Chains A and B, each alone.
Chain A
């Protein structure tokens, strides 16, 4: 089967329409004033733009809130549990940025490649085809290349589209991807690879400031009690914006909600919803004791988890450099600066030890 295909700009809508016949197709769109993934209906033009969705594609796999099961007491008091049906139809998500796709491979470590996989996440992952679009114009908050990604990264995608002179070339990265482009006009493999490499080089060269992540884990290893943490969280107001809009943050809460119309909680549901270590309630125990009592410990936890603990457990950091936390922070806290300050502090520390 072919691995490369050409898609003319004008032909894209008809391909999308063809996919819509076979799959539930999702694409970035403005929904109530927010750019996020939504159901694409036939006849709509979903040409990729220079933007990144505000809400990452994570929400298609770990929704903000979802019902894990419903329960009710049957006759004779028996406990009856009903789990939601697995998606019947394959989904195709169009227009995924490489950083978001790579984030899914990081989430896979947690939810999929484990001895206790999460059935809800896995079902969605397994029934989804991801068609990505390379970023020819990285934004100034982007730093994917500093954390092991690329504006034309292929990890996690089934097909990568690359814009070239107004049209697109498609590169299939998996069998699912090959099947998807099977009917399209073939593109010459070598020429296409050259073209993609050129686009990639161009985009990587135009990336903003690099963030020094080499050796960051080691600096964090020795920096748990660094005085820096007393200061770095000061502007942070402890909201959940950075975590909720982060494509890799995945902490959640489980809640059991009794149906208010039921008698004495005889029916209800178990709901999973986004949660974050940035909230004080996250670790506060019923007794009132909180192992992470202030913003200092909570911000440290989030950074440590991303750049130290995740690295220890899975060999890579839980950050794809999408820049959403930077662009959306209400107080303009910038994770790139935070990392730089960790570097500065570690350096000052080592100087102090030498003298």
Chain B
């Protein structure tokens, strides 16, 4: 167990004992290497199961929605951004949330891990500096952690949480870099036909399981438009057009709200490049309105406000 896990447990037990939290939401190990599962600690014994590591991927801000109890939440930089964004949208009562901020240098993408394993069964993963030693029944392979980090972590600008009530000490790199959206610009440079072909093909493997939507801390509508029967915006079958509209609208609904935590992408069992849509929206909101969700607690969500001189070169 690492120092950060120990510190999280200590903090969790203190918050529970002091009555500052009824539940501490964090992670505990699952039986799979590099995969931690969200954990809801209400007793000291349960708090002792809390861990921190490369497999702590879920965005725990999701679990703050619709919660009556006083909560303490173990939060990475992106989780904190999501909390800030949802607090602004009045979905989470900040007074009832204690943020245990954890500086984070990135988490592992299990889709990337799956690709590296190529069908081999992983039974153990041990961190050795910047490297992970992956072991299975008949193999051992060393992989640079940076090659397994999920893409969202590579462009992360908030290794250090922007807000927190308790900070877990760590040697994670402070701050972050500026996201240049290089991948998005590259895609924009393709022809419309090429983009359409990519879009159709990439999303044709969607199984409409809605894991992307359900993992996203910004998706909290009481009734999602895909579930509406009157009006029925899109069919309930699996017409590719309907799948594409679902993903367009999901991305659009994230405008000015998406914190690019990558929760959607790592939830996708089919490995769809979902961030290629959400990041486009994120980039445009930044370019058009100079806004980035969840970074500044005091600025309103970008699409909830306007300026008289907003760009309108897109109009006829």
Contacts and interface: CB of A to CB of B under 8 A. Distances in A.
A and B touch in the complex (CB under 8 A): yes
Contact of A332 (B32, B119, B213): B32
A49 B38 CA distance: 33
Contacts of B235: 255, 257, 271
Contacts of A274: 207-208
Interface string B113-157: 000001111110000000000000110000000000000000000
B137 A34 contact: no
B262 to A, nearest CB: 12
A50 interface: yes
B189 interface: no
Contacts of B30: 332, 334, 337
Interface string A11-37: 000000000000000000001111100
Interface residues on B, range: 35 or more
B267 A239 contact: yes
Interface stretch (A1-9, A175-183, A214-222, A229-237): A229-237
B120 A50 contact: yes
A244 B238 CA distance: 13
Interface in A26-64: 31-35, 49-51, 54-55, 64
Contacts of A336: 31
Which secondary structure characterizes the binding site on chain A? loop
Given A32-B205, A33-B271, A241 B237 contact: no
Interface string A234-267: 1101111100110000000101010000000000
A333 B30 CA distance: 8
Nearest to B228: A281
A101 B238 CA distance: 26
B12 to A, nearest CB: 16
B121 A139 contact: yes
Contacts of B123: 140
A236 to B, nearest CB: 9
A137 B37 CA distance: 26
A65 B211 contact: no
A240 B208 contact: yes
Contacts of A50: 119-121
A331 B58 contact: yes
Interface stretch (A156-164, A301-309, A322-330): A322-330
Nearest to A255: B236
Nearest to A51: B119
B121 A334 contact: no
B257 interface: no
Interface of B: 30-32, 35-40, 55, 58, 62-63, 118-123, 137-138, 201-202, 204-205, 207-211, 213-215, 227, 229, 235-239, 266-267, 269-271
Given A235-B40, A326-B31, 14 more contacts: A33-B270, A34-B271, A64-B238, A65-B238, A137-B121, A234-B40, A237-B267, A241-B209, A279-B227, A328-B269, A330-B215, A330-B266, A332-B36, A334-B32
10 contacts: A32-B201, A54-B269, A64-B207, A65-B239, A237-B211, A238-B214, A239-B209, A273-B236, A331-B58, A332-B35
